[in-house]
Chain A
Amino acid sequence: MDEDEFDAFYNASYRRVCAQVYAMIGDSDEAAECVQEAFARAWAHRRKMSSVDYPEAWVRTTAYRLAVGRWRRKKYAGRAADRAVGVRMEMPAVDETHVALVAALKKLPEAQRQAIVLHHIADLPVHQVAAEVGVPTGTIKARLSRGRTALAALLADEAPGTALEGGVR
């Protein structure tokens, strides 16, 4: 993967992956930083990336794992999370309905949230979600079904014009 290929990959995927990771972790700043770091690692391993079937899935998974790792470190070790990218980025305003949706997603069990984000937001077919998560397709279908039901209930509880608690900082 040369510079031009990487830039094209980055420009085509960055916003999309950011949104997906934001939906998964509920924090847009953190999502942006982790996705940026994941792309940096993709460039650092560009030779390997050339043989990866789904580079975007690689970046998404890496970013998600970075986010989880940073969260764990903050929670359990009391250490400051690493700030690999350094400068904190300026974030555009996020639509209130999206904030509410992300807040509702955040209330789902992690496995259900992951399945919903990968299927409905990353637009992956069920079998590909199953492959990425590493569970049978039947399990993904069950998680999707339960997750959608729970999400509908959470969104129905949402008062008109107000966002649910939690979500972005």
Chain B
Amino acid sequence: MSDPISRLDQFRADAPGAPMSSAAEARRRGDQIRRRRRALVTAGAAAVAAVVAGPVVFLSTGLGDRGVDPAPATSDSAFASSPADSAPASGLTRANLPTEDDLVADDPYPAWTQEQTYDGEGTDTYNDCLTESLGDLGAQTTFRRDFVAKPGEEMADAAGTLNAVVGEFDSADEARKVSVELSDAAISCPGVDGAELAGTLPVEGGVISDGSIGVVTYQPDDPEMNAVWEVATAVVSADDRVLVMTRKRGVQDYVRPTTLQTSAVNAAYRMVGATPPGEPSTDPSAGSTATRSPAKDGLGAANLVDGSTFPALDRFESALGWNQYTPTPDVPTLACQKEWLSSLGATAKVASDYRWDTDRAMVGQVHVAVLEFADEDAAGAAYNEVMEWMEVCPANKLGVDPTVTELPIDVSTDLDAGPKRAARSHATYPGADGGDSTWFETELVAEYQTRLVLVGYGELAGPCPPSTGDKNDPCYQPDQPDSWPGRILAIEKAAVTAGISDLR
């Protein structure tokens, strides 16, 4: 009998596999869970009270958060923020705590607003991953400031929590050691059984001595349907001070990462009395646009293609389609890129990233960057540099060695926007499964006046590339749609058109 319907019907009727257990046993276990939860809440309250007398241990329950956003100096994510007038701090005060202006809200949540500040508090009661307070670790002075999403506004209840704990130590060395120790704890999350690391991102540059963001997820003790807890912990040291910033919320797996890195950088600057380099508290990545760098000098969300217009990757079923995300850790726009794009000397940049996922893995990715230069000569020089990357592929940002399979060719007439120059090349690099899977990447650079648009578009296939429809190709796959070339061109056209839309 191989009829699946009748087999399934019979299975339903028999309900096999049920053990012998009683409702009373389930209730006993449920009562145990309730007792444990109450004990945790009580202990948390006691910890807050005890801090007046001395150091306490981090105790936490509650929501999680995934939070990574643009790195200011170390990647394609954003531009280097020039160190501001970093004045040596003298005595940690409330003035060194982050304010609303330092914090980046992320769409669709409202802006963060200050809720309460605690003097002498070195614990973050909301961070499940950290088990020690800054006081325990030797801080002489500590503060904690809690933020909530602006109450009463839409989505405020779902935004989770954001807290900053700041401590001053005897020396910069000591502060840096504590920072490293806490960063390790944030990643390994010893306080939560079953926490999984979702990603890490460095926080570097300017006044910062050491810094990183770790994001973990875990199943909630009190399960909400279709959600996991996410905890994003930024730990940054600057001078003799340490900042621990925690963003937590309950999220569904497909929700794109929220922003935390710019907020942490801004808070670190303020912690040492320097002027924060970041943008105001309004979200630079609102909507489906720029997620990886603040818009500057004429570039904005309108210069980034809307991923919802991309043609479907029809070889694979995906519940979400093209989904905007923030790569963690960051990835280069083009696989063959030698340096982060900040090395090109642009005056501004916006960028965005999309991925196509099946139930099992990412099978498609689009990376777009739009760069603005001081003049056409600078843009031209940068174009030549990118062309060299595409020809030689001196990649060192991806952790693999891509191979150029097709050298750049002129495609300027293929693009509706009419760029001055445009070139496309192809490269491949191995998929993550260690088998035959291969990323087939198309790399494009287009130049128009003072602007460059870069597009890296990858599809997972292997060992043959996605079908092109050429029946003479030994890799021709009749069971696959022949939409790959059309998809490449459509994405490139849309990205270039948007990238130079304000110049034409």
Contacts and interface: CB of A to CB of B under 8 A. Distances in A.
Interface in B360-384: 360
B6 to A, nearest CB: 10
B39 interface: no
B10 A15 contact: no
A62 B30 CA distance: 14
Interface string A135-150: 1000100110000100
Interface string A150-166: 01100110100000000
B177 interface: no
A36 B196 contact: no
Nearest to A4: B23
Contacts of B4: 116, 148, 151-152, 155
Given A15-B18, A40-B33, A151-B4, A10 B319 contact: no
Residue from A19, A92, A110, A111 having most chain B Cβ neighbours under 10 A = A19
A65 B223 contact: yes
Chain A residues touching B, majority SS = helix
Given A44-B33, A110-B359, A101 B11 contact: yes
B27 A77 contact: no
B33 A155 contact: no
Interface in A42-87: 42-46, 58, 61-62, 65-66, 69-70, 72-73, 76-77, 79, 82, 84-85
Contact of B219 (A14, A66, A97): A66
B219 A69 contact: yes
B296 interface: no
Contact of A94 (B17, B24, B226): B17
A168 B1 CA distance: 21
Residue from B1, B19, B23 having most chain A Cβ neighbours under 10 A = B19
B95 interface: no
A129 interface: no
Interface string A88-127: 0111101101100100000001110000100011110000
Given A72-B196, A155-B7, A36 B25 contact: yes
Contact of A89 (B7, B12, B21, B194): B21
A104 B44 CA distance: 48
Given A14-B18, A82-B194, A142-B317, A41 B7 contact: no
Interface residues of A, number: 69
B196 A40 contact: no
Contacts of B5: 120, 148
Contact of A69 (B7, B29, B194): B194
Contacts of B433: none
A15 B31 CA distance: 22
Interface residues of B, number: 47
Contacts of A69: 194, 218-219
B479 interface: no
Interface string B313-347: 00001010000000000000000000000000000
Given A6-B27, A36-B26, A139 B319 contact: yes
A7 B14 contact: no
Given A65-B219, A121-B11, A92 B226 contact: no
B318 to A, nearest CB: 10
Contacts of B37: 44
A47 B2 CA distance: 45
Contacts of A91: 17, 19
Contacts of A58: 225
Contact of A40 (B19, B26, B358): B26
A18 B225 contact: no
B26 A95 contact: no
Given A97-B1, A121-B11, A143-B317, 17 more contacts: A18-B15, A32-B17, A40-B26, A40-B27, A41-B33, A42-B30, A43-B29, A45-B222, A90-B19, A92-B16, A92-B20, A98-B16, A120-B8, A120-B12, A151-B4, A152-B3, A155-B4
27 contacts: A7-B23, A18-B15, A19-B11, A19-B16, A32-B17, A32-B19, A36-B19, A39-B30, A40-B29, A41-B223, A42-B30, A43-B31, A44-B31, A44-B33, A44-B37, A69-B218, A72-B196, A79-B193, A82-B194, A85-B25, A89-B21, A90-B20, A94-B16, A139-B317, A148-B5, A151-B4, A152-B4
Interface of B: 1-5, 7-12, 14-21, 23-34, 37, 193-194, 196, 218-219, 222-223, 225-226, 252, 317, 319, 358-360
Closest 3 CB pairs of A and B: A43-B30, A40-B29, A28-B17
